[in-house]
Amino acid sequence: MSTKKPSVPNSQLAGTDTLDRGNTNSKLQSLEAFRSDASEQALRTNQGVKIADNQNTLKVGARGPSLLEDFIMREKITHFDHERIPERIVHARGTGAHGYFQTYENHSALTKAGFLRDPGKKTPVFVRFSTVQGPRGSGDTVRDVRGFAVKFFTDEGNFDLVGNNMPVFFIQDAIKFPDFVHAVKPEPHNEIPTGASAHDTFWDFVSLQPESAHMVIWAMSDRAIPKSFRSMQGFGVHTFRFINAEGTSSFVKFHWRPAAGTCSLVWDEAQKLAGKDTDFHRRDLWEAIEGGDYPEWELGVQVISEDNEHSFDFDILDPTKLIPEELVPITPLGKMVLNRNPDNFFAETEQVAFCPGHIVPGIDFSNDPLLQGRLFSYTDTQLSRLGGPNFHELPINRPLVPIHNGQRDAMHRSTIDKGRASYEPNSIDGGWPKETPPAPENGGFESYHERIDADKIRQRSPSFSDHFSQARLFYKSMSPHEQEHIIGAYSFELGKVEREWIRARQVNEILANIDLELAARVARNLGLPAPKAGTVEVPQPALDRSPALSQANLLSGDIKTRKIAVLVADGVDGQAIDDLKKALEAEGAHAKLLGPTSAPVTTAQGKVLPVHASMEGLPSVVFDAVFVPGGAKSVQALGGDGVALHYLLEAYKHLKAIALQGEAKQLRDVLKLQADAGLIVGGEAKALRAFFDAIAQHRVWEREPKTKAIPA
């Protein structure tokens, strides 16, 4: 049976909403013929054909591959792909870096892909990180999904692993992708809000599409406000195939794990960074690479044999589902290191063209209906964005191997083809270029031989019907502070929604099916009655909790590359600064001296000390921790400086480690800061060790309840 969207009262769909009414008395009468009102109209194609099913791509069987003949899906996605010129429609704001990937060992038992079989070879890569919703000029730290796209320049051609920092997605079928993006983009009447999902059209759509529940709760978690690109996990989202030299296929899920650990900003901090440093994530990645702190990730896969394809209580082809690591552990494959910044943002980061259809022998697709649509959509998008079919000739996209085929001419052609034959087979040019037969190694690409015998239908597989059990698993797997942040995020976002029925529908028909306490807390914050029960029966998953989903369990355990602000003024204890710098250098962390102004300060020992910036120039939100060295004169100056006091108060509110050395302990009483494991007072080595341990915990979560009433 086809999956249809839930019914909505006619009063909510048939034009009673005055917020959406156009001005029918417009003075621009000449444009009236071009105005269109969809009220009480049938959904049709651009050729006027009524659409019977707008929810599912045409497939061979409910779990089979999508069909190219689906003119409804192709028309819809083609139009969507060409809606913005020249920036990307989604993932427009991004930044990139060069690096390499190196496999740990020969993984030929899993795949015949060459770059995963030679541990002595470094495969060049280019990575682009991005936000989804906003345009190129939007902020880095908005609440949003982050793109995590990697182009491997292998000896067998380019392989693009185009994923996100979350393992699932909002929809199950690619035919719904234009609808989702139209809903999450700024509202069409006023182009507001930029880079945010806290508005009516997004919540209207997701509250009517229960399949989105799992991804939405990820987006309402701390995962949507990462501390940096360097501290993000990455996921391939879809199920792919590995094929070895013997032709044996395994299903795989791709995972990137950052060596720096996985952690996030707090919401107030993210909002302030959006104003104080719009380029915070870009700057962090750039400076880390320039400074030699090369970001590193481990690539791994979850491997599922074909025999176990149906052994889970969910469908592995469903892109709104993940496979808990407790059920299928991750097999490490190799590491990726980013060690070079681009020379030109436009020529490289902006012109790089990714497509999940760019694969090499040993890797193949599954019948995931969202992936199937992406295989068409990405190439179609590049045709519009980069001016034609020759985007592969741009230097950042050009493979390492030579390209020879009969595809000549077209816009922006840079290759000067020799020879008279632009077709195959030919005898004029000696038959070249010729096909390469499939082979265990270095052979031509051959699709996996999958037998399919099914009806041609528009249908959602019944195995895709559970929309809430994994959302519930995610919420229950969170630590208490992460759960509080999710409640706060739903409350904030839904509080921005103007229409009460949308808020109520999200609470009663989505959140109540995930967790009643979650629904009740959000309802209370919105002034709505708490639901007493869910609206559907939610299956019990194999796991009640998955610790691997909580960022509290994904820290690196060290303070490498962490940044510490050191507040100084004339009369500061210079020896304390030297001791701190030496200790931080041993830990791989960095200190920056900040003064009342950008002018140098003089230490108590009489040494002139340059500072990196003023406290106003580098606010606390760009640092991981704050250190205030002793020195009576310096501490007295800082204690009378409103900027310095605000600096400490803001860092305290954002749950960061603070160390007050020597006379600086007076500032604790001035600001009435309550003692905790992250507020370190004292100057001995033991106190410094405690300070570093607190930084390694990323935040002092026990402090969070105390800071609710503290302004910053």
Contact 115/121 with Cβ under 8 angstroms? yes
Buried b (16+ CB within 10 A) or exposed e, 287-323: ebbeeebbbbbbbbbbbbeeeebeebebbbbbbbbbb
- Closest by CA position to 670, among listed 700, 626, 635: 635
DSSP 50: B
**Choice among 56, 91, 513, 698 that is catalytic:** 91
Given phi > 0 = left and psi -120 to 50 = alpha, else beta, which region is 430?
A: left
Give the contacts of 114 (CB within 8 A, at least 6 positions apart). Answer: 154, 155, 156, 360, 361, 362, 441, 442
End-to-end CA distance of the chain: 54
Question: DSSP 3-state helix, strand, coil percentages of the chain (rounded to 5)?
Answer: 35, 15, 50
Cα 218 to Cα 131, 213, 271, 494, 509: the distances in Å are: 15, 9, 19, 15, 18
Rounded Cα gap, residues 622 and 280, in angstroms = 8
DSSP string, 585-599: HHHT-EEEEEESSSS
91 is catalytic: yes
Rounded Cα gap, residues 458 and 57, in angstroms = 6
Q: Please count the residues of the chain.
A: 712
Amino acid at 90: V
**Rounded to 5°, angle at Cα 682 from 680 and 684:** 115
Rounded Cα gap, residues 462 and 318, in angstroms = 11
Please check if 378 is assigned to a binding site. yes
Please check if 374 is assigned to a binding site. yes
Rounded Cα gap, residues 198 and 206, in angstroms = 12
CB-CB neighbours of 636 under 10 Å: 15
Please check if 88 is assigned to a binding site. yes
Please list the alpha-helical segments (H only) found in 334-477.
369-385, 469-477
Contact 531/508 with Cβ under 8 angstroms? yes
525 is catalytic: no
What token pair was written down for 149?
A: 């796209």
The backbone torsions φ and ψ at residue 464, rounded to the nearest 5 degrees and listed phi first, read -100, 10
Token pair 């997605």 is found at 169
Rounded Cα gap, residues 353 and 222, in angstroms = 29
Contact 626/659 with Cβ under 8 angstroms? yes
Which helix or strand (DSSP H or E) is residue 242 part of?
strand 240-243
- Closest by CA position to 267, among listed 180, 167, 196: 196
CB-CB neighbours of 234 under 10 Å: 27
Amino acid at 392: H
Contact 535/516 with Cβ under 8 angstroms? no
DSSP 548: G
Please check if 177 is assigned to a binding site. yes
Rounded Cα gap, residues 246 and 267, in angstroms = 51
The backbone torsions φ and ψ at residue 613, rounded to the nearest 5 degrees and listed phi first, read -170, 175
DSSP string, 65-105: PBPTT-HHHHHHHHHHHTSSSSS-SSS-SEEEEEEEEEESS
Token pair 């002793």 is found at 630
**Choice among 158, 164, 390, 508 that is catalytic:** 164
Given phi > 0 = left and psi -120 to 50 = alpha, else beta, which region is 419?
A: left
Please check if 128 is assigned to a binding site. yes
Catalytic residues: 91, 164
Residues making up the annotated binding site for heme are 88, 128, 177, 374, 378, 385
Residues making up the annotated binding site are 88, 128, 177, 374, 378, 385
